[in-house]
Amino acid sequence: MSQPDPRPEPGPDAGIDDIQSDIAETRKELGETVEALSAKMDVKQRTKDKAAETKDAVVDKAHAVQHATLDDGRAKVTVPAATLVVAGTAVLVWFLWRRRR
């Protein structure tokens, strides 16, 4: 893990204000690091976030496909034709299965 450019430490002749501001900055950085590690360790939340992200991507893609098929004249014929093919295949499979029994 790479660290950001380190800030200079207060020198030996630094005043109390310099040291206190350095301590405050160090505490702030430590808090951010702990928060980042805590978020990384929360597997349940990360899973929920990834699932929501994937769902949004699928919904967006579905809307894009739906609009593309509705805008195209062929799609209005393709969808019912595909439905008929699936239904016909199901009837054929059922007929063959029933015939073997």
- Long-range pairs, 29-33, Cβ under 8 A, ≥24: none
The pLDDT tens digits along the chain (101 residues) read 456 667 777 778 888 888 899 999 999 999 999 999 988 888 888 888 889 889 888 888 877 776 766 555 555 556 677 788 888 888 888 888 777 76
Alpha helices in the chain (DSSP H): 16-41, 43-71, 73-100
78: left (phi over 0), alpha (psi -120 to 50) or beta: alpha
Asked if residue 69 lies in contact with residue 79, where contact means CB atoms within 8 angstroms, the answer is yes
Q: What is the pTM of this model?
A: 0.41
